[in-house]
Structure formats: C-alpha cells, structure tokens
C-alpha cells in the first residue's frame, strides 16, 4: 500500500514542523545573552539566569536579573520621557503605535516561533491567535490615542506605569498593557515573567527600530525581587499586574496608602455550563478550546464543567472520545494540539494538586496516547466524582485538567457557577437564547461567552469580579484604567478636624434620656450590641444627643441585612430612580428640621447643605436609568454587550464634615446603580443621618438596602474592609486610616476608594456624575454569536 493510501486508512497527522531558524538567528545576533532595555538603549548583561525551551529543556538565552538600581534607572528614564511624550498630540502618539503594529505584523512569524520556543504553546496558537491579537491591540489603541481628548476630555495620564506580566501569554499581555498606557500618554517600565522574557526583548528591539522616543518603553527583566522593586518604587504612579491572586493581594497590600493607581487581572476557576438543549458536538469542541488551549495555562480557562444531568453520561462519553484524539507533542509541530507546560516547577505543582484531589475521592481519566519523554508535558485530564469542596474544584490548577460536575436546574447551575472566590469568566452553552441571556447576568464574572469561548478583542473589555481582580483591559474601560481626572492633581489636604470640646467623663452626664438615636439595620431601629453610647456634642461642648457605639457584631448584622437585600440590584432602574426621588422629596419636606440639626451639630447654617443633599439625590435618581453599557462589534460574527452592573454590598464611611451631604453624596450613586449599603456616618456629627432613617422608612426603600451603624469611623471602617461579605469599600478620612482600609481590603480583594487625607469638596457638581458612578459599578461583557 502506498503512503497516500496508508494516510487515508489511518487518518493520522504527519509531522508539520515550523522551522526555528529565524528565531535562533535573532538569539545568536544578541549572543544569546540579554541586558535590559532602558532609556532606548541596551544595558550590559549583569547577573543572569537561564531561559529554557520547556519542550526539550535546551537553554535559549541568558537573561539579566534586574536589581533595584536597574529599576531606579528605568524609572528615571521613564520620568524624563513622560513630559515630552504626554505633550505630543494624540495623532503623533498614535503614529508610533501604528508603526509598532505594522512592525509586529511584518515580523509575525519570528514573534510566533520565538513565543512557542520560550513558552511551549503550540505554534498554531502563537501564530493564529496571539500575534494577530497583539497587532490588533496596537492598531485599536492607535485610534484611542487620537480621539482621547474628545472621549476623555477632563482626564490626564497617570505618569510612569509599572507593569508586571505573566508567562502564559507573554507578548499578548505586554500588548494589553503597553498599548493603552502609551495611547494615554504614560511611559512604562515593564517586567516580563522570568520564564518567558524573550518576546518582550524582541518587542524592545522593535521599539528601538521604529524610533520610539527614548524612555517611553523600558523593559527590565528579572524574577520576583525585580517585581517587588517596581511595586514599591516611589517614582511609579500606577501598577498594572496580571498573575496569581496570591501575588495580587501582596501588591494590594504593598501599594496601600501610596495613592498609586492599581489594576489587577488575577486568577480564575471559570465555569463551563452545558444545558441539555445544547449542540453537544459544538459544546465539546468549545470545551477543548476552553480548557486545553495553551495547556490549560489560561486564567479564564473553562476548568469547571457543569453539565445538565439529563445529558451528563452522553456528554462525558463523547468528551472522552474527543480527548483520545488530542495530540501532545513538540509545540513547533503544526499538527500538535497540546504543547509543553512552561517549566518543571509548574508540572510538579499540577501533579501535587492532582494527588490531593484523588486523596479526597476524585477519579482521574487520561486518554491513551504518547507523550514525549523529554520536556514539560502532561496529558489532558478529566476529573469526575468531585464535590464543590474538592481541592481540584476549588483551587486554580492552571494546567490541562478539567473537573466535571452535574446540575439539574438552571438555578442550581448558577449556584454552582458562583460557588467560587473567583469571577473572571464563564461559558454558557444552549440553543435557547432566552435561557442563555437569562443566565448570563446571574453569573458573577467579568466575561461571559455564549455558545463560544476564549473570544477576545481589543475593543471589548476583559477583567474579573471578586478575587479575580479589578480594572479592565481592552475597550473603553481598559483605556480609562490608564487615565485619571485632571483635577485630582489640585487636591489639597483636608483641614484638620477641630479638637473635641472638653466634656465630662462621667457617662451619666449625657443629657436627656430620650435623645439616644438607634442604629438602622435591615429596615429596623437597632440598639448597639456593645450596649454603649457615645455623646454627640455641639461646638461649645454641650451634649445634644447620643448614638450607639457600633462594634464588629453590628457590622456583621448590617452586612447580613445588606446581602439579603441584594435583589435591589435587579430592581428596574426606573424603580430605583423613583425611590431616590421619593427620598429627595421627603427630605425636602423636612428641610427646616434637618437644617436646624446641622446647625446644632456644627454651628453653621444648614439650609444650603440640605438643599445640596436634595439636589444630589435628584441627580443620581436621574442617572439610575441612564448610566448603562454599550454593544461592541468585534471583528467576528458576534456582538459583545457591555453590561454595567453593581458591585454588591458597599461599605461607605462618610467624611467628618458636612453631616448630611457627606453621606448623601456617597450613598446616592451607590444606590442608583443597584448596590446595597452599610453606612457609617460622620463620627462627630451623626445625628443628621440617624434622623434620616425616618425619611428612609417613608420613601419605599426596601429593608436592608440602607443600613446605618454609628461609632468610631476608623474602627468600623477596618471591620468593613476586612469583611468578606462586603464587595467594595469607600472611606473618607485621614491618609493613615485610608492606608489601613486599603490594606485590610485584601481579604477578598474588594474595590476601594479612599480620600487619603485629601479634601474632596462633595458639594462640587463634578461629584454628581461619572466620578462615583464608575466606582460603584463594574462592566460585564457578554459575547453573543450570530449567523447560521
């Protein structure tokens, strides 16, 4: 039988190797030894470490270990370059981005081969997915650069950005970060992952060849210590990190109180939900892409299969058949499906997790088939017989391992999907578009794909909820992540709080018994758990009332009530607007009473503050049904619906000044967007807000939507920030207390806004729009395919 006939008999793929000659020639031209790229020049190599080919263990090059001095030099260069770079017109900056995009396209084969050699992913993925998307990001942000002043008229760049990227998509992650940063007018210091620095260094040479101004892009290689030097450097204005949740939490703690901008794109344990009416064959092909793309080393990998019980047996059988045809081998072979993992340490980590999962009762299936004896290879694995508590279900594996569970009803599917600390992505497979679009908003994830998976585009934001981080990359949201309001540069320190007037220490010297205001939790007035009260004094030091001294248990009760009221987020925006209008109307009816209360506490005329508070409620009532998303048209047969969603339960600590407006200006945007609130009013002047719950009770506000806990602002703020049931935290107070709040937020990586001791004049009309609305929301992009 001739060879062609044999091929038709077996239908086996023959080898189709991609030649490494160009990549080797580029490495040889640098002597296979690299320094850093700082201020438009290559430094001499210092202490080095090896960058190996994970497919065969061969050393590709020696990479310099970045030191604190190297980071200092890069920051100095970036700082010097910032002023002239940001002063260029958007058109001029865009021309450089365009030149980068064209150069990447011109040398796409070199980039793809070098990426595969350094990372281990199949050449088909590098060639057909990664590199085209890299060019797409630079093209897309070429346009943003030119139109920035029109679309973000009051925004300015941060300045010098420190960017740290992972090893799973070395060049693509670079593009996601550098393209928007440069378009916005920032300069950057980027540290690639120690395992995969080579394409970042090739990119640096591209920057050099196209004449990018010196210091605009600086590439500093190294390991964890180099990243720490970047994060802690006082000369860096923003940190952008993609990597593990563990490291992301450490970065959040390290940057607490510094005022640096921060965006984190972290881990995931994404559900892949298959309903009984799905096209099973298509769903299985999508699943192969979801979990075995890049050997499962993808933060948004569909690593948790949730399949409806009625089709579970058939689906798993078909999946095992498909697994048997997956080819594991040399990633430079174009007929290979699964390449090498990035390093031996990653292989061992996955094996250890698998052992733990099996010890807990998991059953592992691996198809028969050859695996190269040399290199970092693992077979694709399917894990069954697991509960949600199993290590393999709960922990991010970051490898070619799929865990499978079943569900009976759509409600159970949603509960299982959301039963994770992560919230990066999800996939829904169903032929019933009504069902799919009903489920998508219920999934707590930043990206949801319907009847598809791993769709990415520069025009569509990408990023997570919960412990998958905050901030977005791509789209308008990703562009705004590298900009800040111009007026923030002019903020002054908040005036020092006036010392409390001297008062008697005897707790019995507290005035009339009927002047003790209770807390407001779950729609009911509540006495403090501590059974202690705190006196409220007028400017002369006379007691004018008492409020409860809130403690940890009061916060716990308030958070539970707020979580029980989260159906507020699904209430129609028109209805939320009406409730806010009612609040404003009922507050206005009692304006004289509230003005008098403000005067009693502060000695100042309160009429204007009441009027401003009513106006602010009206403003955000008006925004409730207008601050919404968009529909993106990526270059494939799909639309991506950007849905603006609330954060969830928000802890809000009001400033000491402006007893009424200080709270209203913060809770109004939160409520308008569908969040529920635990409010800590001004510690010095809380009576305006304890009076407010009488207005709340007559304004159709559902129980638990607004909860009020009085007491010491810093103590209660720390408790709120540490609470895992709180999804976001706003704090107006001192720089020291702001740092405490930001650091405490790492428990569940809640989003924070703090005033850092600066004076935010909440009476200013700039605060009745996008500034707080954007901080009270997050964007979910739902990808919806179309066409026959």
The closest of 382, 399, 280 to 324, measured between CA atoms, is: 382
For residues 454 and 296, give the distance between their C-alpha atoms in angstroms, rounded to a whole number.
12
Write the DSSP string, 255-291: HTTS--EEEEE-----EEEE-TTS-HHHHHHHHHHHH
For residues 161 and 217, give the distance between their C-alpha atoms in angstroms, rounded to a whole number.
10
Contact 305, 403 (CB under 8 A): yes
For residues 739 and 300, give the distance between their C-alpha atoms in angstroms, rounded to a whole number.
31
Active site residue 697: no
**Residues forming beta bridges with residue 650, ordered by sequence position:** 677, 728
Q: What b/e readout covers 572-611, taking b as 16+ CB neighbours within 10 angstroms?
A: ebeebbbbbbbbbbbbbebbeebbebbbbbbeeebeebbe
Q: Where are the beta strands (DSSP E) in 300-459?
A: 304-308, 363-366, 381-384, 401-407, 425-429, 447-450
For residues 235 and 586, give the distance between their C-alpha atoms in angstroms, rounded to a whole number.
50
Q: What b/e readout covers 257-281, taking b as 16+ CB neighbours within 10 angstroms?
A: bbebbbbbbbbbbbbbbbbbebebe
For residues 477 and 486, give the distance between their C-alpha atoms in angstroms, rounded to a whole number.
18
Q: Angle 309-314-315 (CA atoms, 0-180°, nearest 5)? A: 75
Within 10 angstroms of residue 240's Cβ, the number of other Cβ atoms is 29
Q: Interhelix angle for 108-119 vs 90-106, to 10°?
A: 70
Contact 784, 638 (CB under 8 A): yes
Q: Where are the alpha helices (DSSP H) in 565-660?
A: 573-589, 591-602, 607-623
H/E element holding 398? Answer: none
Q: Where are the beta strands (DSSP E) in 512-597?
A: 516-517, 519-521, 524-526, 533-537, 543-548
Catalytic residue among 265, 546, 645, 768: 265
CA dihedral 207, 210, 214, 215 (to 10 degrees): -30
For residues 388 and 368, give the distance between their C-alpha atoms in angstroms, rounded to a whole number.
28
Residue 188, classed as helix, strand or coil, is strand
Contact 651, 593 (CB under 8 A): no
Report residue 699 CA to chain centroid gap: 35
The gap between the terminal CA atoms of the chain, to the nearest Å, is: 42
**Residues forming beta bridges with residue 4, ordered by sequence position:** none
Catalytic residue among 161, 207, 299, 376: 299
For residues 266 and 425, give the distance between their C-alpha atoms in angstroms, rounded to a whole number.
11
Active site residue 299: yes
Contact 4, 15 (CB under 8 A): no
The closest of 265, 269, 294, 40 to 173, measured between CA atoms, is: 265
Contacts of 115 (CB under 8 A, 6+ apart): 121, 126, 130, 131, 170, 171, 196, 198, 199
The closest of 110, 94, 76 to 205, measured between CA atoms, is: 110
**Which residues are tagged catalytic?**
265, 299
């Amino acid at each position: 039988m001739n060879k062609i006939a044999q091929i038709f008999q077996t239908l086996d793929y023959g080898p189709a190797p991609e030649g490494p000659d160009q990549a080797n020639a580029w490495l040889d031209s640098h002597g296979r030894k690299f320094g850093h790229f700082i201020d438009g020049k290559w430094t001499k190599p210092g202490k080095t470490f090896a960058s190996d080919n994970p497919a065969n263990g061969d050393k590709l090059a020696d990479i310099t270990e970045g030191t604190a001095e190297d980071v200092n030099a890069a920051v100095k260069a970036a700082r010097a370059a910032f002023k002239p770079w940001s002063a260029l017109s958007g058109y001029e900056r865009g021309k450089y981005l365009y030149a980068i995009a064209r150069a990447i396209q011109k040398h796409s084969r070199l980039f793809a081969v070098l990426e595969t050699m350094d990372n281990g992913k199949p050449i088909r993925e590098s060639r057909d997915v990664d590199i085209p998307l890299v060019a797409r990001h630079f093209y897309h942000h070429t346009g943003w650069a030119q139109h920035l002043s029109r679309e973000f008229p009051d925004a300015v760049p941060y300045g010098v950005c420190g960017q740290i990227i992972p090893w799973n998509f070395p060049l693509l992650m670079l593009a996601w970060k550098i393209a928007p940063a440069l378009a916005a007018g920032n300069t950057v210091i980027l540290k690639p992952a120690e395992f995969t620095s080579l394409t970042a260094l090739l990119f640096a040479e591209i920057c050099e060849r196209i004449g990018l101004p010196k210091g605009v892009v600086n590439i500093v290689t190294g390991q964890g210590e180099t990243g720490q030097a970047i994060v802690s450097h006082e000369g860096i204005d923003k940190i952008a990190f993609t990597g593990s949740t563990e490291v992301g939490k450490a970065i959040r703690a390290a940057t607490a109180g510094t005022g640096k901008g921060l965006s984190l794109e972290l881990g995931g344990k994404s559900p892949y939900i298959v309903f009984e009416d799905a096209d099973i064959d298509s769903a299985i092909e999508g699943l192969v892409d979801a979990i075995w793309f890049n050997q499962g080393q993808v933060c948004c990998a569909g690593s948790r299969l949730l399949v409806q019980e009625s089709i579970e047996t058939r689906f798993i059988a078909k999946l095992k058949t498909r697994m048997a045809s997956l080819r594991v081998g040399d990633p430079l072979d174009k007929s290979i499906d699964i390449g090498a993992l990035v390093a031996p340490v990653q292989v061992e980590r996955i094996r250890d997790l698998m052992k733990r999962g099996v010890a807990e009762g998991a059953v592992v299936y691996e198809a028969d088939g050859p695996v190269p004896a040399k290199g970092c290879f693992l077979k694709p694995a399917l894990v069954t017989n697991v509960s949600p508590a199993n290590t393999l279900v709960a922990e991010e594996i970051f490898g070619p391992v799929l865990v499978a569970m079943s569900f009976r009803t759509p409600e159970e599917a949603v509960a299982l999907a959301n039963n994770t600390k992560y919230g990066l992505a999800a996939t829904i497979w169903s032929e019933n578009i009504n069902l799919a679009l009903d489920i998508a908003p219920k999934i707590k994830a930043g990206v949801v794909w319907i009847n598809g998976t791993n769709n990415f585009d520069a025009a569509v934001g990408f990023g997570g909820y919960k412990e998958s981080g905050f901030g977005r990359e791509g789209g308008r949201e990703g562009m705004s992540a590298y900009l800040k309001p111009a007026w923030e540069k002019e903020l002054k320190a908040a005036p020092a709080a006036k010392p409390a007037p001297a008062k008697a220490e005897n707790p019995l010297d507290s005035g009339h018994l009927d002047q003790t205001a209770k807390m407001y939790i779950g729609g009911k007035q509540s006495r403090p758990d501590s059974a202690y009260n705190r006196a409220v004094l007028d400017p002369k030091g006379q007691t004018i009332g008492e409020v409860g001294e809130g403690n940890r248990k009061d916060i716990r009760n308030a958070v539970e009530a707020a979580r029980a009221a989260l159906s507020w987020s699904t209430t129609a925006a028109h209805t939320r607007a009406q409730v806010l209008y009612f609040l404003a109307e009922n507050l206005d009816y009692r304006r004289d009473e509230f003005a008098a209360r403000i005067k009693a506490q502060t000695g100042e005329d309160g009429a204007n503050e009441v009027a401003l508070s009513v106006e602010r409620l009206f403003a955000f009532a008006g925004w409730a049904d207008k601050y919404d998303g968009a529909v993106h048209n990526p270059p494939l047969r799909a639309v991506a619906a950007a849905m603006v969603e609330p954060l969830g339960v928000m802890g809000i600590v009001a400033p000491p000044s402006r007893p009424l407006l200080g709270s209203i200006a913060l809770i109004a945007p939160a409520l308008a967007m569908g969040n529920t609130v635990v409010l800590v009013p001004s510690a010095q002047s809380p009576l305006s807000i304890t009076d407010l719950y009488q207005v709340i009770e007559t304004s159709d506000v559902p129980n638990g939507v607004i909860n009020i806990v009085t007491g010491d602002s810093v103590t209660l703020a720390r408790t709120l920030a540490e609470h895992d049931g709180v999804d976001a935290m706003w704090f107006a107070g001192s720089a020291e207390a702001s740092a405490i709040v930001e650091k405490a937020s790492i428990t569940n990586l809640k989003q924070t806004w703090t005033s850092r001791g600066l004076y935010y004049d909440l009476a200013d009309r700039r605060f009745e729009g996008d500034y707080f609305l954007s901080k009270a929301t997050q964007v979910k992009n739902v990808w919806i395919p179309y066409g026959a």
